[in-house]
Structure 1
Amino acid sequence: MKKIALFFLLVSLDISILQAQNYQVSLLTCDPGEELYSAFGHSAVRVKDILSGRDLVFNYGTFDFNTPNFYLKFSRGKLDYMLSVSTYQQFIDHYTYLEREVREQVLDLNPEQTARAVKFLRENYQPENRFYRYDFFYDNCATRIRDLFEVVLGDQLEWKDPGGIEEKTFRTLIDEYVYPLPWADLGIDLALGSVIDQNAKEREKQFLPDYMEAAFSRAEIVGDGPTRPLVKKQQTVLKLPPVKIPGSIFNPYVLFWLVAIIFIIITYIGFKKKRLYIGFDLALFGILSIIGIVVFLLWFFTEHTATKYNWNLLWAFPVHGCLLYGLTQKYPAQWVRKYLLFALILADAAIVFWIMGWQSFHPSILPLILVVILRTNYLYYNLERLKAAGRNVMVK
């Protein structure tokens, strides 16, 4: 029944398109949630028939969980998002349940502009048009709405960018939202490459709903009479406190510094007792190899644009797994020492890349890089000597 009702509502939009003066078009902006997928907020378009009371929300941020190979397509960047339509009340009920605030900006469009906006949305909702290839930075639920009004208004839309503002990279913009989620923040910084360390232009910042809301509040419509603000009224339609995410001592900062301290202690003890304690290195380089393989696959075997040129590979190198074989040999081959030196140089290069600003790594990985530098140094200078001397090597 709901689908039938939506069908007739959409038909009514089509029939009444020439009576656009009856419609009110608004931008809806929703506060961030506590899960990663909702941490950046959300945007949608509201179209209200003032005379009849019919009220719809057009939402570019939906996808079909029943899509074949859903998770594989998602990981490879091949998942299509779609434009969906619900009633305004359904939309508000949903965000009431999620306990996330919703704000509305009523747009000051003339009848012709309103008609073009309604027609654009109706055509986008056609089955052959409603799906699109999602890109977090350049083609998402917010940028689709920005592009809609740039098409509808053309040169009549002027973004009034503020002057003298601090430049921000795409990574910095993301960090503003995921900082309360340290593990998610780490995962994003591991997965996304140096391409997101470039400064974002003001228009590009609109991939984030909050920034698009601010841009709409500054924008003006020109050329169809006196210049006027794009937004004629702004209000909170669902007032709720911001979602609070509780902190936890179990975070990558604490864990990785604890790991570093453990490696410093076992290296000191090993130096005093003339032992290697290779078991710790097998665990370390095995985990780094797995991370490196994931980073490598995201870079070279997906369609994600933001995972390219990811220099986390310098410290989490996929081939580090070869040390699991080389270090356990009673008489290590010459390539093992050469590879340890190679791994040391890579870790040092990661520090250089970080300092030079070629890629910003997650701060919590600093102790891991220092551990790689420490252990490759120690093993390079002591591996052959201690094994040749017949010392006990503890492998855990």
Structure 2
Amino acid sequence: MKKSVLIFTIILLNISQLYAKNYRVSLLTCAPGSELYSVFGHSAVRVTDMETGRDLVYNYGTFDFDPSFYMKFARGKLDYWLSVATYDRFMEHYAYLGQAVREQELNLNEEQANKMVEFLHINNQPDNRYYRYDFFYDNCATRIRDMMKTVLGEQLEWNDPVSEEQKTFRDLIDEYVYPLPWGDLGIDLALGSVIDIDASEREKQFLPDYMEAAFGRAEIVGDGPTRPLVKHQSTLLDVPPVAIAPNIFNPYFLFWGIAIMFIVITYMGYRKKRLFIGFDQAFFGVLAVLGIVVVLLWFFTEHTATKYNWNMLWAFPLHGLLVYGLGMSSPAPWVKKYLLFALIMADAAVVFWILSWQSFHPSVLPLILVVILRSNFLYYNLDKFKAHKRMVNS
């Protein structure tokens, strides 16, 4: 009887060994690129079957760059998905882009590795692989972070640094987009005050570099002696950081140039008793268009980060009314009232900025100053200078 039980146990062990897989699982972190969509870097999962040699990369950052891409992205309806490629193909792609790739081999036991591979396999099913992309809360990095929590549960300890500097979500993205001033401006115009809050250490992991650092600190506990989450770290593709050449045509130079131009126009207008209203119509017309974009992103999209965007205080959709109102030969009473309203709104934007209720892009400061300067100048001189012009013409 005992011999039969022993034989049966041996058979079961052999069967379990037959179906058990020996996987090597690692986190791949790709260095930032030169384009806005790649400037934050990238994360993926590498799975190597040590028995068959099959080497695959699971990539949650796949999207379809079709003609409707920008419209879907603007409306917050862009779906990403999990794709699988061979390791060689993945590395060829990043070698072509010139972006370094680093690897952290995870210190998983056999059960944990199998559970993670099973998780990826289920996620890669046609009904499961798509997800609604959210830059801060659901992207290629956060998907991997959340998978680690699902697989390891309470066995995963992140060991967050206690004295780490507090950074807002906007501070974090500024670290990467600073070399791209137009992209930096666009992001700051589109995203609202909801990102001007401190990000927790877990929330910082929406950025691949921060997640890589978090993996390096983390430990696995509760299944034997405590051990680091990362067994081994190496650089798979060692290339210099992508260099982004500075461009003299940037919003700082352009907007301060516009501000200086309006200062000169205002001075000349005061001396010659002229308004130069055509410049104001063009300026407030552009601000109205920007304001419409802000309103659309705030109220008519599924984005979570575009809410409560106080750029609307200086780039207001109804500024377009001044294009019509300032062109009147005899301005209606509402025009002066609206100029006072625009002045108060621009002053409020400065107050919001000083009190850190929302951090605006530094390059928009001269534009806010122009709104304050011209609305103030026109408010006090619109009737007087237009009456002077009619007297001269008569």
Shift of 1:141: 0.2
Which letter maps to 2:31? D
Aligned residues: 377
Shift of 1:73: 1.7
Q: Which residue number corresponds to residue 39 of structure 2?
A: 39
Larger radius of gyration: 2
Deviation track 1:3-43 (CA, whole Å, cap 9, x = no partner) reads xxxxxxxxxxxx999423x2100000000000000000000
Aligned counterparts of 1:148 and 1:157: Cα–Cα separation in 2: 11
Shift of 1:97: 0.3
Q: Which residue number corresponds to residue 226 of structure 1?
A: 225
Find the residue that maps to 1:187 and give its secondary structure. helix
Aligned counterparts of 1:289 and 1:166: Cα–Cα separation in 2: 38
Shift of 1:50: 1.5
Shift of 1:63: 1.3
Q: Which residue number corresponds to residue 244 of structure 1?
A: 243
| 1:105–1:16 CA distance, 2 compared to 1 (3 A) | farther
Aligned counterparts of 2:87 and 2:150: Cα–Cα separation in 1: 24
Which letter maps to 2:38? S
Mean Cα displacement is larger for which, 69-78 or 335-344? Answer: 69-78
Shift of 1:52: 1.8
Deviation track 1:93-141 (CA, whole Å, cap 9, x = no partner) reads 0000000000000000011101110000000000000000000000000
Structure 2's unaligned 5+ residue stretches are: 1-15
Q: Which residue number corresponds to residue 180 of structure 2?
A: 181
- 8 Å contact 1:56–1:85 — kept in the other structure? yes
Deviation track 1:173-196 (CA, whole Å, cap 9, x = no partner) reads 000000000000000000000000
Q: Are 1:23 and 2:23 matched, yes or no?
A: yes
Q: Which residue number corresponds to residue 311 of structure 1?
A: 310
Q: Which residue number corresponds to residue 60 of structure 1?
A: 60
Aligned counterparts of 1:117 and 1:283: Cα–Cα separation in 2: 58
Instruction: Kindly report the root-mean-square deviation, in angstroms, between the aligned alpha carbons of the 2 structures.
Output: 1.5
Find the residue that maps to 2:352 and give its secondary structure. helix
Deviation track 1:339-369 (CA, whole Å, cap 9, x = no partner) reads 0000000000000000000000000000000
Aligned counterparts of 1:272 and 1:173: Cα–Cα separation in 2: 47
Aligned counterparts of 2:132 and 2:167: Cα–Cα separation in 1: 26
| 1:228–1:152 CA distance, 2 compared to 1 (3 A) | same
Which letter maps to 2:223? D
Deviation track 1:304-330 (CA, whole Å, cap 9, x = no partner) reads 100000000000000000001000000
Aligned counterparts of 2:325 and 2:278: Cα–Cα separation in 1: 12
Which letter maps to 1:381? Y
| 1:17–1:369 CA distance, 2 compared to 1 (3 A) | farther
Shift of 1:51: 2.3
Aligned counterparts of 2:27 and 2:55: Cα–Cα separation in 1: 13
Aligned counterparts of 1:279 and 1:163: Cα–Cα separation in 2: 57
Q: Which residue number corresponds to residue 336 of structure 1?
A: 335
Aligned counterparts of 2:267 and 2:390: Cα–Cα separation in 1: 16
Shift of 1:70: 3.5
- 8 Å contact 2:116–2:151 — kept in the other structure? yes
Which letter maps to 2:170? R
Aligned counterparts of 1:314 and 1:69: Cα–Cα separation in 2: 30
Aligned counterparts of 1:363 and 1:276: Cα–Cα separation in 2: 28
Aligned counterparts of 2:127 and 2:36: Cα–Cα separation in 1: 30
Q: Which residue number corresponds to residue 9 of structure 2?
A: none
Find the residue that maps to 1:105 and give its secondary structure. strand
Which letter maps to 1:30? C
Query: Which runs of structure 2 are paired with 1:1-396 in the superposition (5 Å)?
Result: 18-20=19-21, 22-66=22-66, 69-390=68-389
- 8 Å contact 2:273–2:388 — kept in the other structure? no
Shift of 1:386: 1.1
Shift of 1:49: 1.1
Find the residue that maps to 2:65 and give its secondary structure. coil
Shift of 1:390: 2.6
Aligned counterparts of 1:37 and 1:16: Cα–Cα separation in 2: 44
Which letter maps to 1:255? L
Shift of 1:391: 5.0
Q: Which residue number corresponds to residue 6 of structure 1?
A: none
The percent of aligned pairs where both chains have the same amino acid is: 72
- 8 Å contact 1:107–1:233 — kept in the other structure? yes
Find the residue that maps to 2:44 and give its secondary structure. strand
Q: Which residue number corresponds to residue 7 of structure 1?
A: none
- 8 Å contact 1:347–1:372 — kept in the other structure? yes
| 1:304–1:80 CA distance, 2 compared to 1 (3 A) | same
Aligned counterparts of 2:336 and 2:32: Cα–Cα separation in 1: 50
> TM-score normalised to the size of structure 2?
0.94
- 8 Å contact 1:17–1:119 — kept in the other structure? no
Aligned counterparts of 2:224 and 2:25: Cα–Cα separation in 1: 20
Find the residue that maps to 1:37 and give its secondary structure. coil
Find the residue that maps to 2:92 and give its secondary structure. helix
Aligned counterparts of 1:202 and 1:40: Cα–Cα separation in 2: 17
> TM-score normalised to the size of structure 1?
0.93
- 8 Å contact 1:18–1:115 — kept in the other structure? no
Aligned counterparts of 2:50 and 2:99: Cα–Cα separation in 1: 26
Deviation track 1:242-285 (CA, whole Å, cap 9, x = no partner) reads 00000011110111111100000010000000100001101110
| 1:368–1:314 CA distance, 2 compared to 1 (3 A) | same
- 8 Å contact 1:17–1:115 — kept in the other structure? no
- 8 Å contact 1:33–1:39 — kept in the other structure? yes
